[in-house]
Structure 1
Amino acid sequence: MGHSLNKLSATFIKSAPVGKHSDGGGLWLHKRPDGGSQWFLRVSVHGRRREMGLGSPPTISLKHARQEAQRWRSFAKSGVDPIKQREKERREAERNLHILSDVASDCFEARKAELKGDGKAGRWFSPLELHVLPKLGRIPIAEIDQRDIRDALAPIWHEKVETAKKALNRLSICMHHGAALGLDVDLQAADKAKALLGAQRKKVKHTPFMRWQDVPEFYASLDGDTVTHLALKLLILTVGTRTRPLRFLRLDQIDSDVWTVAADDMKGRIGTTNDFRVPLSTQALDLICRAEPMARDGYLFPSQRKGVISDATMSRLMDRRGLEARPHGFRSSFRTWCAEQTDTPREVAEACLAHVTGTAVERAYRRTDYLDQRRRIMQRWADHVTGSA
């Protein structure tokens, strides 16, 4: 059959007349009256003649067309319909495009707008990135079942309880995203995996906190006028804000004795879009005045190099002192002091910590953030902490 192959030449193809021209072995060039042209292959499978298009010159060169013809002829020789085979390969290629890591990235992109700071901190994505994608990332999402998920999360299910829960939750969101893209996904896979993994043994660890009775002594020990000491002291005095808003505190957020934190920067404020107003005690205002000369780029607590001090800076200071307690724990110190030493109503105490209380309806009718009551209680707390009570 060798002599009947490769009849055409590249030069002929450029100027071929209208009609069908055989290159041999079932490969043809069809030159249409409109000037366009196309390669096609004629083969016979189980006595049926099949014709498959192989693209058009010059995109598909003569050499490429011959290689393709050879490949599909070999399928036909072994009794496989090359057109069906090509369809099958296309479907597989498409399915493989939707591997979990691609769907997860697409899902993260789609959700960024809802996430704080566009999800830049990567907190939303990291449980997936660390514990799921290394094992399941290359698998087409349509093939992932509850056993795959169970095997991926089993090593951390009882050890890293919160992280494992987050990873499973994020994976479930990605599976729903895959379904929304039109992929054949098992939407129950995450729930079934949870059933296979069983109840988590380990209790969630709460941030260790300092007894409220011990806070004044620790506060007094922060006697340096360094950025870290001043930041930690202000955190203790304004317990409602958590560490992030405090680290990014800008002087232009303070008006008289009220510091306003944008709603986007407040964690745990689901159900409200309001900014959070922090009443500043006289001691807090004094600290801000002492920190002001060190401000840089408008930030009150700059780091040594660039940006602001890190979360770890204050934690490390407490660690070096041999303390189990962490900065975040002062919220619990305050809340316990509130309950044991004052008759502050629950709503006001929770509002001090920026906790949203009550149902959506209750919140809609409650048009107050208890600023005046909080101002009084925060001043009492500052007096306790600084030993002036």
Structure 2
Amino acid sequence: MVGPMALSGTLTRNAVGVLGPGRHGDGNGLYLVVDSSGARRWIVRLTIAGRRNARGGPLRTDLGLGSVALVTLGEARDRALECRRLARKGIHPSERSERVRPTFEEVARRVHEERLPTFRNAKHGQQWICALDNILNQVRRDIPHLRNNHRSEAVRAAHGEDGRR
């Protein structure tokens, strides 16, 4: 078995198909992940500048780039480079898409409608949505310029730093 070596040039095309299970580095955070089933996919490990995880350390994340069958090594390297550029600017690559994302309030109301039949009575359903409304109102007061990609900060502000109220 070939160990975690840098994949490059002609060897790469050959090695991608023969490497055994594990995570094989190409450099600069790009990895070929081979599952025990033989499935192969590209991932890039990033550290998002200026963002912190729940423990206060730098936010590190693995982002899938696609299957080896669909994404060539060259494409994976290009995508990884673009992801690293965004991460250096403090932008999480999965948040850069232009798709419309529902707000927390919209999702909460949709879940409330779906769960209404499961509540013991109408009063329980009303209490559930009122509790969420109270949290949302507190967050809106505490963080007036709340953006969608900062929801976790809003929740921490509403519940205190440790996530408990």
Q: Could you tell me the TM-score, scaled by structure 2's length?
A: 0.48
**Which of the two has higher C-alpha Rg?**
1
Q: Which has the higher helix share?
A: 1
